[in-house]
Chain A
Amino acid sequence: MMSVVLKKVNLFLFVYLFLSTFVFSGDLNFIKINKRVNESLSLKSLVDKMDSSNEDNSLNIKDLNGFIILNFWASWCGPCEDEIKDINEFIDLRNTLHPDVKIYGINIFDNKKDALSFKRKNPMDYPNFYDSTNTIPVFFGISGVPETYFLKDNLIIYKYVGKINSDDLLKGINKAKSFNN
């Protein structure tokens, strides 16, 4: 009798775990945050002296309004290099589907020289900044790179842990847009 019950429990657990890998796997990388940016978080523009782009010299995350995506990366991180192609692809999609969404790359846990040579090697079609204070990762509770954050009017809504692709970027925007505080 007992062995029959145990067999049924085992079967149930197996089916549950098997199905859950398919049902929940897509959203496992998304983590709900719901935290307001209430302190000044200043970043400097990651541009060469030779760079002719007209990017702003600095950015304060606290001043950002509307829908914002922040992608945190480092020059020594392989997945960060892999995801650039997808983010560049997403920029084209964003222009037609979500023109109100802004995306910024933020270099952390790094030095400016390595970050600049990484950026030269891997062109990014979105403005990039670097954390000169080395304090930004703590505020966001970042544990590693790459991590991508979805914000709406100063509120950090979701984070995506790991290499992101254009589908997940769109999913993140839809999640952020449908989020009710």
Chain B
Amino acid sequence: MIYLKVLTKRNHLIISLIFLLFSIQATANDSSDLYEISNELMCPVCQGQTVAESNSKLAISMRDVIKQKITEGKSKKEILNYFTEIYGDNILATPPVKGLNILLYFVPILFLIISIFYWLKKVKR
């Protein structure tokens, strides 16, 4: 009887530990998701800070929305879409390669190529 009691107590302990480990794992996943998503969004009222970095009232509110959406089971893509629908593509830390944004990606390369050609021409002279 005493042996059974000890076993039951031990089982309780093991089950509790398993639950604890799962909850810690879930919390860690949620907070890493929160950081990852908020780091891909720019704070609309700050200068050059992402939502993860900023402590402005709006950035805190945006983090709360991300937390809520993660709890609702929304994917990263769905959450980012939610924010771009409200604030536009400018809210993304990495702007998509479309429209005028293409210039952001190709103009520096173009300038680099032109500079190399100019430099080579100068050296040959």
Contacts and interface: CB of A to CB of B under 8 A. Distances in A.
25 contacts: A108-B61, A109-B57, A109-B58, A109-B61, A133-B68, A134-B60, A134-B64, A135-B61, A135-B64, A135-B65, A135-B68, A137-B58, A137-B61, A138-B61, A138-B62, A138-B83, A138-B86, A139-B65, A141-B86, A141-B87, A142-B58, A143-B44, A143-B58, A144-B45, A144-B58
Interface of B: 44-45, 57-58, 60-62, 64-65, 68, 83, 86-87
Interface in A130-179: 133-135, 137-139, 141-144
Interface string A109-131: 10000000000000000000000
A108 B68 CA distance: 17
The A contact surface, by secondary structure, is: loop
Contacts of A139: 65, 86
Interface residues of A, number: 13
Interface in A77-120: 108-109
Interface of A: 74, 108-109, 133-135, 137-139, 141-144
Contacts of B60: 134
Q: Is chain B's interface secondary structure helix, strand, loop, or mixed overall? A: helix
A143 to B, nearest CB: 5
Contacts of B68: 133, 135
Contacts of A74: 57
Given A137-B58, A138-B65, A143 B86 contact: no
Task: Identify the interface centre among B57, B62, B87: most chain A CB within 10 Å of its CB.
Answer: B57
Nearest to A110: B57
A86 to B, nearest CB: 24
Nearest to B83: A138
A74 B60 CA distance: 15
Q: Which 3 A-B pairs have CB atoms at the shortest separation, nearest pair first? A: A109-B57, A134-B64, A138-B65
For B60, B61, B86, which residue has the most chain A Cβ atoms within 10 angstroms? B61
**Looking at B45, B58, B87, which has the most chain A CB atoms within 10 Å of its CB?**
B58
A142 B64 CA distance: 15
A111 to B, nearest CB: 11
